[in-house]
Amino acid sequence: MYRIQIYDSRMTGMHWQLQKVGARHGRRYYETGTRMPVAIFLGGDPVFTFCATAPLPDGLDEMLLAGYLRKKSVELVKCETNDLEVPADSDFVIEGYVDPREPLREEGPFGDHTGYYTLPEPYPVFHITAITHRKDAIYAATIVGPPPMEDFYIGSASVRLFLPILKLNFPEIVDIALPAEGVFHNLVFVSIKRVIPCRPIK
């Protein structure tokens, strides 16, 4: 889930932070200097919003998680102007590309979910080639402002869903909490039950 800042009727900023998966995908295109096709979809099954924020490892598609949670696969359809696919029940689809040969453009400032503004920074430009929508489309939006906001509750749901998986890999974990004061991902409390005794470093 990324934000896009509208520059004009055909261009927006593509706010993918360096550590995000979108930026890692983008780097492949920047290395070759070829246009990166992009498709943004809004709305559809509400589970898509949750899955877009889920802490999945690279290579694990969010649509697989969505299908698992829905207990049925996600029907995908091909975009109009590129070969990417989006959920068939999307309310809006914005298609286009990022051209790695052009300079970055300043994006921001932006009222962030932390309750503060993020400063302007350079990001890639997203060129729009098509916008489509279904009949009676609903524009889903989130509200930013002083926390706690939606992301806090989505983060709490992620903890409950992924805690059993974390416990499989790290049996000492008893519980995890993301308090509202940490604004979803900036503060984590982890309670553990030591299995291996601590030994002082000599």
The catalytic site residues sit at 112
CA 146-151-152 angle, 5° bins:
75
Q: Which positions ≥6 away from 77 have C-beta within 8 Å? A: 85, 86, 87, 88
Q: Which positions ≥6 away from 138 have C-beta within 8 Å? A: 43, 91
C-alpha to C-alpha distances, 7 to 126, 142, 185, nearest whole angstrom: 10, 20, 29
What does the radius of gyration of the chain's CA atoms come to, in whole angstroms?
A: 19
